[in-house]
Structure formats: C-alpha cells, structure tokens
Amino acid sequence: MSSIKHTADFQISQPIEVLFPLFSAEGEKLWVPGWDYENVMGSNALHEDYIFLTKNHDHASTDAIWLTKQYRSDSYFVQFYKVEPEDKVGIITVQCRKIADFQTQVEVSYEYIGLSNKGDEFIEKFTSSEYKKFISEWESLLVSYFEAKC
C-alpha cells in the first residue's frame, strides 16, 4: 500500500469568519459546482464525528464516506477522513488563518492512503502539479462565489 500527501495555500480577500464555514458539507454546496452530499446525521451543523456521504466527487472513483475527524471552529481548523472502501482513504485538512480583517490564508492538505491496487494507481498519478491545479481551482471558485454575492 502506498500513500501521498500534498499541501498548498492561497489567500482570499474575505473575513475568516465568513470564509471558514464554507469548508463544510453544507458550505461547499454554495461554491463547488455539482457538490452535494447525503446527510445521514439529521443536522447541517458540522461537529467532530459528523458523517456524510458523497457520490464520485473530489478524486473519488466510488461513493465515499466522510467523517469529521477534528473540528475546531475557534481556531478555524477542520479535518476529514474520506473513506472509499476497497480503494483509498483520504485525510483532508483545512486551516484558515487571519491575515487582516478582510484577508484570510487557506492551507489545504490532502493525504491519500491506498487500500488496493486501484488506490495505489490513483496515488501514483496524484502529482504535486495535479494537486496545485486542483487547489487553484478552489481559489478561483471561491473568488467567483464572493464576486457573485456582491
């Protein structure tokens, strides 16, 4: 079994209190085209041990089970396990840091651990340049979301 981890960051001209809630199952519906999830908890409020399901989204080749590993709203930190049974496990980490009242740094890490040959093949192709392209799309989508709100 193999694993890989990539980290990238970007800055958004928005207050941290406005930006951070967008990195949740419900929040992503606002800015990620095609994002949707199945709510199995009966609540939209993110908290540790919150579980939701997605279908073939975000590097997924199969349906995925997401579990909130850590959620610290006071320090603008969230971490998820993303389990694709018989394929791979992802650990997705988002840390927001206030730079100024209307400037936030967003650091995003994706770590994948292969569970099968299929997962290992994905990891082999998940290069640093592919990851940077993926995260730059996050930045573009967030900028577009906030521009549309104005």
Q: Exposure string (b/e) for 48-84, b if CB count within 10 Å is 16 or more?
A: eebebebeebebbeeebbbebbeeeeeebbbbbebbb
| Contact yes or no for 99/19 (Cβ under 8 A) | no
Q: What is the pTM of this model?
A: 0.94
Residue 105 tokens read as: 């740094």
Amino acid 62: pLDDT: 77
pLDDT tens digits for range 118-134 = 999 999 999 999 999 99
Amino acid (1-letter code) at residue 104: T
pLDDT tens digits for range 88-117 = 999 999 999 999 999 999 999 999 999 999
| Contact yes or no for 51/40 (Cβ under 8 A) | yes
pLDDT tens digits for range 20-45 = 999 999 999 999 998 999 999 999 99
pLDDT band for position 79 (50/70/90)?
Answer: very high
- What CATH number should be reported for the domain holding residue 40? 3.30.530.20
Domain count, the chain: 1
Range of the domain at 83: 3-149
